[in-house]
Chain A
Amino acid sequence: MGSEARKRSREKLKEQREKEKRAARRKKNLLVVGIAAAVVLLIVGIGYAVMTSGEDEGYDGELAAQVLQEDGSVVMADEGVSAPVVEVYADYQCPACRQFELLNGDLLKARAASGEAIVQFRPVSIFAQQPTPISGNSLRGGAAARAAADHGVFVEYNDLLFENQPAEGREGFTVDELKEWFRQTDADEAQASEFDERVDAEAEVVTEFTEEFLPALTADATEQIGEETLGTMVLTDLLAWGADNGHDPAFLDGTYTGEIIDATGTAYTRYSGDNMFRGTPAVYINGELLDNNSAMTARGLSEAIASAGAGEVETEPAADGGDAE
């Protein structure tokens, strides 16, 4: 009997010890998971704070003066300012351009307002030869921004276009939307009706260009000069070839659609070497192309501007102060 009781108590003791062991292991497990979770939170939290530091200063102050240039670009700087020239090439349908604008748009406004930078917006359409609706969106957006520049509200309108950028491949920047967004700037009714007229006219040009003119021209060119050569040509070269080969691009003359196509061609030929314009967004300070780490981070852009000397705007203001017709 005695041995039976001893055995039972020994088993009980063993069970008890097992239980304690399990509890200890559970506790250890919990501790380790807790430490690990803290490590993760720390890395994510600190990393997020570091990366977003200096970029959240939204800018709501007065904008620097906006001056439309002969080539359709817009210079944002107050008169007589001596500062680095920051040129921003962007396509309104380009998602990375949208990210640039969301990230650094306010920083540029602030630097221009404080006289620390001369900002030159250079809308282009690198997507003009993409299939519709990408090409149409890109060109309609660009032409509408140019029309907004006629009324001195380019910068505000530029913001609205990027905020409302359609997903690539999706129909967007419709004529009605473009008109509605213009009314969200401080433009008055008279300006709005002028803007509407222009946007309607441009939309027709864009449709003709993307749906009739360009497909026919491309098909012809593919046949006559081959797909390979065609792939190396920028759109303006292709248009020049078309003009000599029965595709008269005269309907683009005097349109903002034509102007943005020209501006894009100019961008491709303007720079050489490391500064070559290859796509958007492209940010140049005094003619030097910034790399992604500088252009696409708030700190990078801020430092690049701060460390650059004064530059010269290379374009002339539009003769009539903007009311090009």
Chain B
Amino acid sequence: MTDTIDDTPKTPTRWETIQPWVGLACRLGLAAVLITAAVTKYPPALSIQAVEAYDLFPTEVARLIGYTLPLFELALALLLLLGLATRYAGAIGAILMVAFIAGIVSAMVRGLSIDCGCFGGGGQVDPGETTYGLSIARDIAFGAMGAFIAIWPRSPFALDRVLGLYR
């Protein structure tokens, strides 16, 4: 009976109406991107090759990344689809994109001419055919989606709501 003050229904602002739907769009969009990225990296032998092309990790580490990165992308996509731990999934998605950008920039700076291997492919390409700028721009966009979710995790059709979070 004392809680009535807190529960007074307010007319939601425009932002409060739109934000959950934008959040849902970001969740679905980022999940779609991650699933595509994971699926196109199969078979793992080729994804290992794409990692090795960055020339950043010893053989064994590159192998581990080649196998587990696509799986991690899939898992993250699943969390976003379900809306489970939405805020953290979004944040990790954004951090992942920052890591990818760092990798691409390092390849660029060292004068490598490789395909980023973001969506399958990977390995050496002709120096005139690198698309570092495009890859980075893409990752910034994906990272922004993750950041949006992390900042405003409230969205419909999310397990989090069922569990009582971000209502």
A→B interface (CB under 8 Å): 10, 14, 25, 28-29, 31-33, 35-37, 39-40, 43-44, 47-48, 51-52, 95-96, 98-100, 102-103, 167-169, 292-293, 296-297, 300
Residues on the B chain within 8 Å of A29, using CB:
165
Residue of B nearest to A291 (CB): B43
Query: Is A32 a contact of B48 with CB atoms below 8 Å?
Result: no
Instruction: Provide the bound-state CA to CA distance between A75 and B88, in Å.
Output: 55
Query: Is A40 a contact of B75 with CB atoms below 8 Å?
Result: yes
Residues on the A chain within 8 Å of B124, using CB:
95, 168-169
B94 on the interface (CB 8 Å rule)? no
Known: A43-B75, A96-B123, A297-B43. A35 touches B49 (CB 8 A): no
Place the interface of chain B in its size category: 20 to 34
Interface of A is mostly: helix
Residue of B nearest to A93 (CB): B124
Residues on the B chain within 8 Å of A39, using CB:
75, 78-79, 84
Q: Which of B30-63 contact A (CB under 8 A)?
A: 42-46, 48-49, 52-53, 55, 59, 63
B140 on the interface (CB 8 Å rule)? no
Residues on the B chain within 8 Å of A31, using CB:
163
Instruction: Provide the bound-state CA to CA distance between A293 and B76, in Å.
Output: 24
B17 on the interface (CB 8 Å rule)? no
B11 on the interface (CB 8 Å rule)? no
Instruction: Provide the bound-state CA to CA distance between A40 and B34, in Å.
Output: 14
Query: Is A32 a contact of B45 with CB atoms below 8 Å?
Result: no
Known: A44-B75, A48-B68, A95-B123. A292 touches B46 (CB 8 A): yes
Looking at the assembled complex, report how far the CB atom of A107 sits from the nearest CB atom of chain B, in whole angstroms: 12
Query: Is B78 a contact of A43 with CB atoms below 8 Å?
Result: yes
Residues on the B chain within 8 Å of A35, using CB:
84-85
Residues on the A chain within 8 Å of B67, using CB:
48, 51-52
Instruction: Provide the bound-state CA to CA distance between A250 and B49, in Å.
Output: 37
Interface of B is mostly: helix
Residue of B nearest to A127 (CB): B124
Instruction: Provide the bound-state CA to CA distance between A52 and B52, in Å.
Output: 18
Residues on the B chain within 8 Å of A10, using CB:
2
Instruction: Provide the bound-state CA to CA distance between A296 and B78, in Å.
Output: 27
Known: A43-B78, A51-B67. A103 touches B165 (CB 8 A): no
B157 on the interface (CB 8 Å rule)? no
Query: Is B84 a contact of A99 with CB atoms below 8 Å?
Result: no
Query: Is A32 a contact of B163 with CB atoms below 8 Å?
Result: yes
Instruction: Provide the bound-state CA to CA distance between A296 and B2, in Å.
Output: 66
Please name 14 further chain A to chain B contacts, defined as beta carbons within 8 Å, in addition to the given A102-B45, A293-B43, sorted by A numbering.
Answer: A32-B84, A32-B160, A44-B71, A44-B75, A47-B68, A48-B71, A51-B67, A95-B52, A96-B49, A99-B48, A102-B59, A167-B53, A292-B43, A297-B45
- Sample 12 A-B pairs with CB under 8 A, ordered by A number: A10-B2, A29-B165, A31-B163, A44-B71, A47-B68, A47-B74, A48-B67, A96-B45, A99-B45, A168-B124, A292-B46, A300-B43
* Centre residue among B49, B55, B88, B165 by max chain A CB count within 10 A: B49
Instruction: Provide the bound-state CA to CA distance between A43 and B2, in Å.
Output: 46
B89 on the interface (CB 8 Å rule)? yes
Q: Which of B104-153 contact A (CB under 8 A)?
A: 112-113, 123-124
Residues on the A chain within 8 Å of B75, using CB:
39-40, 43-44
Residues on the B chain within 8 Å of A32, using CB:
84-85, 160, 163, 165
Residues on the A chain within 8 Å of B49, using CB:
95-96, 98-99
Shortest Cβ-Cβ A-B pairs, 6 listed: A36-B85, A43-B75, A47-B71, A296-B45, A40-B75, A99-B45
Known: A39-B75, A43-B75, A47-B74. A33 touches B55 (CB 8 A): no
| Contacting residue for A95 out of B53, B63, B78, CB 8 A | B53
Residues on the A chain within 8 Å of B2, using CB:
10, 14
Residue of B nearest to A163 (CB): B59
Known: A39-B84, A95-B53. A44 touches B68 (CB 8 A): yes
Instruction: Provide the bound-state CA to CA distance between A25 and B85, in Å.
Output: 13
Query: Is B72 a contact of A33 with CB atoms below 8 Å?
Result: no
Known: A96-B49, A168-B124. A296 touches B43 (CB 8 A): yes
Looking at the assembled complex, report how far the CB atom of A233 sits from the nearest CB atom of chain B, in whole angstroms: 18
Looking at the assembled complex, report how far the CB atom of B151 sits from the nearest CB atom of chain A, in whole angstroms: 16
Query: Is B85 a contact of A33 with CB atoms below 8 Å?
Result: yes
Residues on the A chain within 8 Å of B68, using CB:
44, 47-48
Instruction: Provide the bound-state CA to CA distance between A167 and B48, in Å.
Output: 14
